Structure 1
Amino acid sequence: MYDRMQELTTAQMEKIHDAAMDLLKNTGVAFNDKEAVEIFKSNGFKVEGTKVFFEESQIQKALKTAPKRFTVHARNPEKNVEIGEDDFVFLPGYGAPFVMDARGNQRQATMEDYDNFCKLIQTSPYIDMNGWMMVEPADMPHETVHLDLNLSNMLLCDKPFMGSPTSRQGAIDGIEMAGILWGGKENIKDKTVSVSLINSLSPLQFSEEMAGSLIELARYNQACVVASLIMAGGSGPVTLAGVIALQNAEILAGLTLAQLVRPGVPIIYGSTSSAMDMKTGALSIGAPELSKNIHMVAQMARFYNLPSRAGGGLTDAMAMDAQAGVESALALETAARSGIHFILHACGILGSYIAMSFEKFMVDEETCGLIRSMQKPLEITDESIDIDIIKQVGIGGQYLTHPKTFKLCRTEFFTPSLMARQNPDAWLKAGKKSIEMIAEDRVTKRLASYEKPEIDPEIEKALIQYVEKRKNA
């Protein structure tokens, strides 16, 4: 296969690996959680205070037990997803404190916004999993909002969902609620029902919250993305090669902790590292360096035989404009084409993670559909070529009225629902609507047509009671 993006040689990947091994052995990684440090110490790792040092043999042992592929179970079994090897999933944006409308007006996000994103995900033909904290609701208490987000994920959508790793208690609550959904926590110990995002604290640290969440989730066999988000030139080296080595060390350290807790727990190798804009000091997620890093992450994950994660429709643009379209499509297509398995932030993000946009969600969603269509292999068979038809039509003929065209005209090609294909006259008569205007109308229609998926009333009651009890504790 020929691709103009750089394919790392085995020697280059080994050099990155060796650099990470050097950092892990001689510099170490700080785990700011007492239990994490004790787990390493009890397994024979060298520990100095919060710093843990790793031998290559210890990393290799952990890699041997980490699966290359796994299933995430949904409460609707028809919507289970596979992650790894040839299978990949699209997920929505994550962690935005604001919502931005099609006109560039920004406001604080609310719980209603979160619920509406769950409804769009439920009705999406292209988004495979529900996310976590698509927006951060400003109208909910910070200490307990994770309970409400979990509840919405579980009740409003029957696709697989992401877990709540914001704190150790948040992870425990997510596990308890998943246990209610599946008839007991013992029923999820051998069944992965969530994927949670565990971020390192670059350079070379894991916070108490992230390390604690990772431990609790691993105990119950819940998958985690161990991810590094480095600003090249800020929280990491200015060279992308140095960033790749540093993030590799951080990811492997987190993976090793998870495998010590429960060998075989699914771990996804992840990163959305990118460049720091040297004029402003801000992280740029619309930069080409982000897409270059995505491409390298996919290759390093394959080097370790692991599933991979990277960002999707990411942009620095503060409005749903041409910049947003260019940057988002570049990152999303790079992730899918490079072999990323868990494509987070596929839909909705604006302004370097600062906002989610309902209208951009719709456009990004359609882009996911386009990319799925592009990724679908072309069948090269006698039937698909059908040389007899070509001979029948002959020189100068036409295929429009041929029976095979009628038979396949609705299924053979990707048909967009937002992107314009009318001629100029038809576009003018339809009101000269731009794509963000069409997307705005479509959001309203999608939400109006939403139907809550069926759930056992007793399970729903138990989930609500758990949330109320925890809030009053």
Structure 2
Amino acid sequence: MTEVSTMNEMTARPARSGGRGARRALRSAPDLGMLPALKRGLPLCEPMTPDEVERIDAASMAILEDVGVVFRDLVALEDWRRAGAEVRGERVHLDRGLVRELIATIPASWTYRARNPERNLPFGGPHSIFVPMTGAPFLRDLDDVRRWPTIADLNMFHKLAHMSPALHSTAHHIVEPMDIKVSHRHLHITWSSIRHSDKTFMGMTTSGRNAEDVMAMCEILFGAEAMEETPVVTGNCNGNSPLVWDETMLSAMRAFVKRKQPVLCSPFVLGGANTPASVAPAVAQLNAEALSALAYTQVVRKGAPAIYGHYLSTVNMKSGAPMAGTPEISLMNFMIGQMARFYGVPWRSSNLLGGAKTFDAQAGYESAMTMNAVLHAGCNYIWHSAGWNEAGMHCSVAKFVVDAEVCAMGYRMAEGIRWDDFDAGLAAVRDVGPGGHYLGHPHTLENFERAFFMPRLFDNNSIEQWQAEGAQEITARALAHARQLLRDYEEPPLDEGIAEALRDFIARREREIPAVDALNTDY
């Protein structure tokens, strides 16, 4: 896609020749190489003063000490006793000194290893990555029809993620493959991520045993030694706000952390429902929840990578419905970014969230509001970056490909101002002089591809040209673009021995795991 050409780090373009026609062809030719990890060049938005950061920290530590956090898991409770925490039944009271000692051992940055080494990603500090949405029980398909997803639909989204330059990952279950038994889904979801893209991916955490299966598949793909050296996959563990972590998430967390693979330690915030109905105390609570999980990762394995996570939504106090793109969510993202940097750990947020039922103006406004806040807050793991609508109930193909392009636009903005051609541009001012134009100047011809972002899916032509080309609105254009991407898709090569070993593993585990339609974590 043309947005890739705006980035300095991408491979060199072919030499310009043949005049205007050749330049037009060059401008329209797709370039589907993945963008490097975003290295942010904009100042951070930090609305809290240092005193206010310390006030949130003190409030969170007081919650951990005085109120405590429930760990509904016998293994975790015993782990905490050995670590020196005060355990009363299922409630763990954490001394702030212990918490600070533990989180200090979390790495501030690392490199994600992809199966294609050219797609390895620096992560943490100034570096950010965009990751598609996950978990949708419905999709809006290539005909914009809302329906249940299948494994073929998941394969399609993984292909689209692979073909989208600004998406750095294929995530995992972008949509739930309803035609696969629940107890076997994690195997096929992981295989789809591995097979259809050579980017980094996420691993399922629907149970501890499922997470162990993901670790086994990653070991087949990368090798045990590589997993010890650097992360190859990311898990997500959601808390039950307020102040509860359950056995399912904690057992999955242990499976990842023991293999030195990072997990997102994510309180699930519905502001006003499971947090106080006010921004600052809500952040104090979720900060306590995140710290308790981050600290636990270091109890399991000191020095293991972990990511300060959260899912943010506010609740409509009239209807009870979750809302996206509200100003309070932006404020909380700014605050959480400050807290994560205060503790020296990378952090995750959610991006391009929409609550609309179709890909309409509401979806666009909510998504744009969210992205701008997340980028200015300095988020590292920018999840749910493509497809999210209807509060996560469906993934829209049209929104997915447009969101992917919007991520490229956000990427360019967040890179900051370029100064490398400043002197050449000023020289052009002298050459052109008063009353001239720059369209044919050598500086323009050398820089037009990267000077200004040129969206493929937004229409900026005259209304006459738009009408002559079929008067398509963005949903139709996006669906046509998605179909073309899928026609152009080529499966990235995977060593046949590794592929066969993964298929054998899946077949064996399917024989061993009872084929049930309800989630079963007891096998």
Q: TM-score range by the shorter chain?
A: over 0.9
Is the contact made by 1:132 and 1:161 (CA closer than 8 Å) also made in structure 2? Answer: yes
How many angstroms apart in 1 are the aligned matches of 2:450 and 2:241? 47
Mark the runs of 5 or more structure 1 residues left unpaired by the alignment.
Answer: none
1:387 Cα deviation (Å)?
A: 2.8
Is the contact made by 2:347 and 2:379 (CA closer than 8 Å) also made in structure 1? Answer: yes
How many angstroms apart in 1 are the aligned matches of 2:111 and 2:285? 29
Whether 2:159 is the aligned partner of 1:119: answer: yes
Q: Deviations over 1:25-71 (max 9, x none)?
A: 11111111111111111111111122111011111111211111111
Relative to structure 2, which stretch is displaced further, 371-380 or 90-99? 371-380
Mark the runs of 5 or more structure 2 residues left unpaired by the alignment.
Answer: 1-40, 513-523
The corresponding residue for 1:86 is 126
The corresponding residue for 1:392 is 431
Letter of the 2:236 counterpart:
L
Whether 2:488 is the aligned partner of 1:462: answer: no
Secondary structure in structure 2 of the residue aligned to 1:226: strand
Is the contact made by 1:270 and 1:297 (CA closer than 8 Å) also made in structure 2? Answer: no
1:102 Cα deviation (Å)?
A: 7.5
Letter of the 1:208 counterpart:
E
Is the contact made by 2:237 and 2:253 (CA closer than 8 Å) also made in structure 1? Answer: yes
Is the contact made by 1:102 and 1:319 (CA closer than 8 Å) also made in structure 2? Answer: no
Is the contact made by 1:272 and 1:293 (CA closer than 8 Å) also made in structure 2? Answer: no
How many angstroms apart in 2 are the aligned matches of 1:150 and 1:81? 20
The corresponding residue for 1:46 is 86
Q: Could you tell me which of 354, 373, 377 is aligned with 2:393? A: 354
The corresponding residue for 2:34 is none
Q: What are the equivalent positions in structure 2 for 1:130-145 lying under 5 Å apart?
A: 130-145=170-185
Secondary structure in structure 2 of the residue aligned to 1:419: coil
Q: Could you tell me which of 279, 295, 302 is aligned with 2:341? A: 302
The corresponding residue for 1:23 is 63
Q: What are the equivalent positions in structure 2 for 1:51-70 lying under 5 Å apart?
A: 51-70=91-110
How many angstroms apart in 1 are the aligned matches of 2:236 and 2:97? 26
Q: Could you tell me which of 335, 338, 341 is aligned with 2:377? A: 338
Is the contact made by 2:42 and 2:376 (CA closer than 8 Å) also made in structure 1? Answer: no
Secondary structure in structure 2 of the residue aligned to 1:88: strand
The corresponding residue for 2:191 is 151
Q: TM-score under structure 2 normalisation?
A: 0.87
How many angstroms apart in 1 are the aligned matches of 2:420 and 2:488? 41
Distance 1:382 1:166, change over 3 A: closer
1:229 Cα deviation (Å)?
A: 1.7
1:134 Cα deviation (Å)?
A: 0.7
Secondary structure in structure 1 of the residue aligned to 2:195: helix
The corresponding residue for 1:426 is 465
Relative to structure 2, which stretch is displaced further, 362-371 or 373-382? 373-382
Is the contact made by 1:294 and 1:311 (CA closer than 8 Å) also made in structure 2? Answer: no
How many angstroms apart in 1 are the aligned matches of 2:199 and 2:329? 29
Is the contact made by 2:160 and 2:486 (CA closer than 8 Å) also made in structure 1? Answer: yes
How many angstroms apart in 1 are the aligned matches of 2:64 and 2:172? 31
Whether 2:321 is the aligned partner of 1:291: answer: no
Whether 2:300 is the aligned partner of 1:261: answer: yes
Q: TM-score under structure 1 normalisation?
A: 0.96
The corresponding residue for 1:444 is 483
Whether 2:50 is the aligned partner of 1:13: answer: no
Report 1 or 2 for greater relative contact order, CA contacts < 8 Å, sequence distance ≥ 6. Answer: 2
How many angstroms apart in 1 are the aligned matches of 2:210 and 2:171? 15
Secondary structure in structure 2 of the residue aligned to 1:469: helix
